[in-house]
C-alpha cells in the first residue's frame, strides 16, 4: 500500500454533487460530524472495475443515515452513478471505494437537526488488506480490553464513525503487543468480532459465528454464509464464549477490506488454517471476480 498520506494524493473526489480535485475535497474544522461523530460511511471493494455488491452497500448507507437521524440529499442512483464515474476518472480497476455522509457546520451543539448533510465519495487502488502471500499462515489476535456495548446504548446497526473509537484503541493495543488485530467481546463477555471484521470458527463441516445482536452484520459475513451453505457447510449463528475456543479447528475473519483472512491464534489458543479456509477463499475469490 502506498505511504502517501490520504490528503496528499492525486485524482478526483465526488463532493456534494461535483467532481473536485483531491486536494480540494475539504470540510470545515467545526463540522458536526467531526465533533459529535454524526457520520456514516461505507467501505466497498472494487474488482475488475466493478464494485462488489454496490447496491447492498448503498442501501446500508441510507439505513445508517436513518439510524443517525438524517437524510442523505441525493438519490441512491445518483451516488451509484457518481461511483462508477469516479472509478473511471481515477482509473481504479482493483481498489476501494469510500462513500461518507456527515452533518455540516451550521450548528455546533448536541442538537444539529438543521445542519446541512454533506456527502463525498473517494476511491483508490488498494490491494488485499493483509499480505496475500502470508494469508494462509493466518494472523494473530489479542483479546481486546474494550467491549462492544449493549444494543440499547447505541444504534449498532449503523456503520457510523463513533462505533470505531474502541476498535481503533483495541487495534493499537494489539499492534503494540505484536499482534495483527484484536478480538472484541461484548458487554456480556461473549465473542463478538474483530476490530473491523466479523469472525467465524470451524469444526468439521460446520461454521459457527456469533449472533449479530450488538455489532454490524457485515455484507461480507452474509456473503460467506451464503457461500458456505452452497458448499454444504452447516452454518450456526449462536452465542460463543471464550472458554470454548479450543473446541474449534479453524478460525477466520470476514470483511470488505479483510475479505476472508485465516486466524492462526487468539491469545494462546492456536488454530490451523485448513480446508475450510482454502475452500471458502476460493469460492469468495471466484464470486467477487465473476
Q: In the beta sheet, which residues pair with residue 198? A: 254
Give the position of cell 474502541.
Answer: 166
pLDDT digit string, tens, across residues 85-112: 999 999 999 999 999 999 999 999 999 9
CATH for 132-288, among 3.30.420.40, 3.90.580.10, 3.20.10.10, 3.40.50.410? 3.20.10.10
Rounded to an integer, the average pLDDT of 68-87 is 98
Domain range 6-125, CATH architecture: 2-Layer Sandwich (3.30)
pLDDT digit string, tens, across residues 151-184: 999 999 999 999 999 999 999 999 999 999 999 9
According to the model, what pLDDT value does residue 1 have? Answer: 45
Indicate the pairing of strand 250-255 with strand 259-266: antiparallel
The CB density around residue 2, as the number of other CB atoms within 10 Å, is 9
Give the position of cell 493466518.
Answer: 138
User: Same CATH topology for 6-125 and 132-288?
Assistant: no
Asked whether residue 133 carries a pLDDT value surpassing 70, the answer given is no
Kindly list the catalytic residues: 159
Residue-range domain boundaries for the chain: 6-125, 132-288
* R_g (Cα) of the chain, nearest Å: 19
According to the model, what pLDDT value does residue 68 have? Answer: 97
- Reported confidence tier of residue 57, pLDDT bands at 50, 70, 90: very high
| Per-residue 3-state assignment (H helix, E strand, C coil) for 33-83 | HHHHCCEEECCEEEECCEECCHHHHHHHHHHHHHHCCCCCCCCHHHHHHHH
Asked whether residue 45 carries a pLDDT value surpassing 70, the answer given is yes
Amino acid at each position: 500500500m502506498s505511504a502517501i498520506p490520504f490528503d496528499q494524493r492525486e485524482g478526483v473526489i465526488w463532493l456534494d454533487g461535483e467532481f473536485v480535485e483531491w486536494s480540494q475535497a475539504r470540510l470545515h474544522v467545526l463540522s458536526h460530524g467531526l465533533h459529535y461523530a454524526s457520520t456514516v460511511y461505507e467501505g466497498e471493494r472494487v474488482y475488475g472495475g466493478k464494485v462488489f455488491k454496490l447496491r447492498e452497500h448503498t442501501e446500508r448507507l441510507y439505513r445508517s443515515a436513518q439510524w443517525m437521524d438524517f437524510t442523505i440529499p441525493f438519490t441512491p442512483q445518483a451516488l451509484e452513478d457518481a461511483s462508477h464515474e469516479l472509478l473511471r476518472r481515477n482509473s481504479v480497476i482493483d481498489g476501494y471505494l469510500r462513500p461518507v455522509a456527515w452533518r455540516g457546520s451550521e450548528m455546533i451543539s448536541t442538537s444539529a437537526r438543521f445542519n446541512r448533510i454533506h456527502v463525498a465519495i473517494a476511491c483508490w487502488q488498494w490491494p488485499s488488506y493483509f499480505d496475500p502471500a502470508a494469508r494462509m499462515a493466518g494472523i494473530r489476535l489479542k483479546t481486546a480490553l474494550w467491549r462492544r456495548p449493549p444494543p440499547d446504548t447505541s444504534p449498532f446497526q449503523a456503520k457510523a464513525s463513533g462505533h470505531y473509537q474502541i476498535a481503533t484503541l483495541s487495534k493499537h493495543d494489539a499492534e503494540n503487543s505484536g499482534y495483527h488485530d484484536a478480538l472484541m467481546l461484548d458487554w456480556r463477555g461473549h465473542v463478538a468480532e474483530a476490530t473491523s471484521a466479523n469472525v467465524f470458527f470451524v469444526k468439521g463441516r460446520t461454521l459457527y459465528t456469533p449472533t449479530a445482536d450488538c455489532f454490524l452484520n457485515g455484507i461480507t459475513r452474509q456473503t460467506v454464509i451464503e457461500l458456505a451453505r452452497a458448499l454444504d457447510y452447516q452454518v450456526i449463528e449462536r452465542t460463543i464464549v471464550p472458554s470454548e475456543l479450543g473446541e474449534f479447528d479453524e478460525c477466520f475473519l470476514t470483511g470488505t477490506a479483510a475479505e476472508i483472512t485465516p486466524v492462526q491464534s487468539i491469545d494462546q489458543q492456536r488454530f490451523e488454517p485448513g480446508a475450510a479456509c482454502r475452500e471458502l477463499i476460493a469460492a469468495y475469490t471466484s464470486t467477487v471476480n465473476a
